[in-house]
């Protein structure tokens, strides 16, 4: 007798984190259905997921905000639960276009929750962010700390969605919600077939570093070398995206057997500085990364890292890939796809 494969809907599943999670889910025996409007991703990703796993996920190029098309997805598939990755995620852009961010990120979540209710689907895993801890909390962040003030509209959408999901879980005792607060995901699948493919000039450190290394950008500007950190540059909790993806598989297991809302940090617990990243990247890859020091970037904190002990204790999850592996896999992806998914 073949074991029944549970079907999970991944909104935003062709994006950076969603695609890596799709691979881990398929490898763990799940059936994956992706809804993504391709605003910030490519449908080539579906081919690549198939190439890695041998299984092609079902793909709908829909907007999650659109309840009519979303309803069709739930009609055509027996969905057990949802991982909601879809959202706009650029901090700087959110300052310039706050309404787009609130509209997209909040509306997509509300549409999804309403359709899930119609179909009595009660397992929800949400892509939240360390950004909800705000400015007042000292690192390492623990899940029981009060949330803080976010420095930008993007962060507020995450904080607000956490509140919406908390209220929804109170109102519906059948609902199981897991809030995953990601720290700084970097790296790529070791096949080099999927990875991070930012459009335009990268906002985040690692894609900028790898684009300098491949010659797409002239040099990196390091935002500040006068922080109160050992080398003066900012420190973050960089986590390999495949470790992060594995955390979702554990979160789904947890959501299946619990009700109510629970929050987990997905980080390594080890802070590394911007200079650590640049130096390790050059050492591991042999590529040169030219850089200069510039002023601090508005809204940046000196040092941010997780206390991941709750995830280890409750989910049985722990990040295992080190910084060298993160750099190696980033470079493998970048070398094999110098222009990302563009053919
Ligand atoms: P991504 O942009 O690569 O993936 C998000 C995907 O959502 C994209 O493919 C985009 O096309 C899709 N999308 C956006 N709005 C949509 C809509 N209305 N309908 C359908 N599809 C839509 O980003 P990512 O890095 O993979 O991030 C995934 C999630 O994790 C996001 O919610 C992001 O805010 C959150 N997150 C990311 C990071 C990070 O550093 N990458 C950190 C913390 C949290
Ligand atoms: C890391 C470090 C920069 C670029 C952001 C969001 C957060 C989460 C992850 C979604 C900082 C420095 C960067 C560059 C640099 N996303 N840097 N030169 O700011 O920690 O987090 O992405 O939820 O919400 O805020 O990540 O990669 O932008 O920066 O010196 O060109 O690298 O100053 O110290 P950040 P990042």
Q: How far apart are CA 175 and CA 264, in angstroms?
A: 17
30-51: b (≥16 Cβ within 10 Å) or e: bbbbbbbbeebbbebbbebbee
- pLDDT at position 48 is 98
Query: Which pTM value belongs to this model?
Result: 0.98
What is the tens place of the pLDDT at every residue in 177-191? 999 999 999 999 999
Going by alpha carbons, the residue nearest to atom 24 of ligand 2 is 131
DSSP string over 188-225: --TTSSS----SSS--SHHHHHHHHHTTSSS-EEEE-S
Ligand 1: centre distance to CA 301 (Å):
22
The answer on pLDDT for 19 being more than 70 is yes
- For 302-329, the pLDDT digits (tens) are 999 999 999 999 999 999 999 999 999 9
Q: Is the pLDDT of residue 1 over 90?
A: no
What spacing in Å lies between the alpha carbon of 88 and ligand 1's midpoint? 6
Q: What local confidence, expressed as pLDDT, does residue 10 receive?
A: 98
Q: Which residues line ligand 1 (CB under 6 A)?
A: 11-12, 14-18, 35-41, 63-65, 85-89, 104, 108, 127, 129, 182, 185
- The 10s digit of each residue's pLDDT in 260-283 is 999 999 999 999 999 999 999 999
The pLDDT of residue 110 is 98
**Which of the residues are catalytic?**
154
Three-state DSSP class for residue 124: strand
| Interval 241-252: pLDDT, tens | 999 999 999 999
Query: Does position 2 have pLDDT exceeding 60, yes or no?
Result: no
Q: What is the pLDDT of residue 342?
A: 87
Residue 102 has pLDDT above 80, yes or no: yes
**Atom 21 of ligand 2, residue of closest alpha carbon:** 184
- Does 343 score more than 80 pLDDT? no
pLDDT at residue 3, rounded to an integer: 62
Split at pLDDT 50, 70, 90, the class of 335 is: very high
pLDDT tens digits, 118-172:
999 999 999 999 999 998 899 999 999 999 999 999 999 999 999 999 999 999 9
- Cα-to-centroid distance, 324 and ligand 2 (Å): 19
Provide the pairing of β-strand 31-35 with 58-60: parallel
What sign results for the dihedral spanned by CA atoms 45, 47, 51, 53?
positive
Q: What is the pLDDT of residue 4?
A: 75
52 token code pair = 């890695």
Q: Report pLDDT for 275.
A: 98
Percentage of residues in the chain with pLDDT exceeding 70?
99
Per the prediction, the chain carries an average pLDDT of 97
The rounded distance, in Å, linking the Cα atoms of 262 and 187 is: 27
pLDDT (average), residues 47-73: 98
Q: Is the CB of 185 under 6 A from ligand 2?
A: no
Q: Could you say which ligand is closest to the alpha carbon of residue 232?
A: 2
């Amino acid at each position: 007798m073949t074991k029944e494969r549970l079907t999970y809907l991944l909104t935003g599943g062709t994006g950076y984190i969603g695609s890596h999670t799709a691979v881990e889910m398929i490898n763990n025996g799940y059936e994956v259905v992706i809804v993504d409007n391709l605003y910030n991703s490519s449908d080539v990703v579906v081919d690549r997921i198939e190439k890695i796993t041998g299984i092609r996920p079902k793909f709908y190029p829909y907007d999650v905000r659109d309840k009519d098309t979303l309803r069709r997805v739930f009609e055509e598939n027996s969905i057990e639960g949802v991982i909601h990755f879809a959202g706009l995620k650029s901090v700087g852009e959110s300052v310039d276009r706050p309404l787009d961010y609130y509209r997209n990120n909040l509306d997509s979540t509300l549409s999804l929750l309403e359709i899930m209710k119609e179909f009595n689907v009660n397992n929800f895993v949400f892509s939240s962010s360390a950004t909800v801890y705000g400015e007042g909390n000292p690192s390492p962040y623990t899940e029981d700390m009060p949330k803080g003030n976010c420095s930008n509209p993007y962060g507020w959408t995450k904080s607000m969605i956490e509140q919406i999901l908390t209220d929804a879980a109170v109102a519906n005792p059948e609902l199981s919600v897991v809030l995953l607060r990601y720290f700084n995901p970097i790296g790529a699948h070791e096949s080099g077939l999927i990875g991070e493919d930012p459009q335009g000039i990268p906002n985040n450190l690692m894609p900028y570093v790898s684009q300098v290394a491949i010659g797409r950008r002239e040099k990196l500007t390091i935002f500040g070398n006068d922080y109160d950190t050992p080398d003066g540059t900012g420190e973050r909790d960089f986590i390999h995206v495949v470790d992060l993806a594995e955390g979702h598989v554990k979160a789904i297991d947890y959501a299946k057997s619990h009700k109510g809302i629970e929050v987990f940090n997905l980080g390594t617990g080890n802070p590394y500085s911007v200079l650590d990243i640049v130096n390790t990247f050059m050492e591991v890859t042999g590529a040169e990364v030219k850089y200069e020091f510039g002023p601090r970037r508005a809204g940046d904190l000196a040092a941010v890292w997780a206390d991941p002990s709750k995830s280890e204790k409750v989910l049985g999850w722990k990040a295992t890939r080190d910084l060298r592996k993160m750099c190696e896999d980033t470079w493998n992806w970048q070398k094999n796809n110098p222009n990302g998914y563009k053919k």
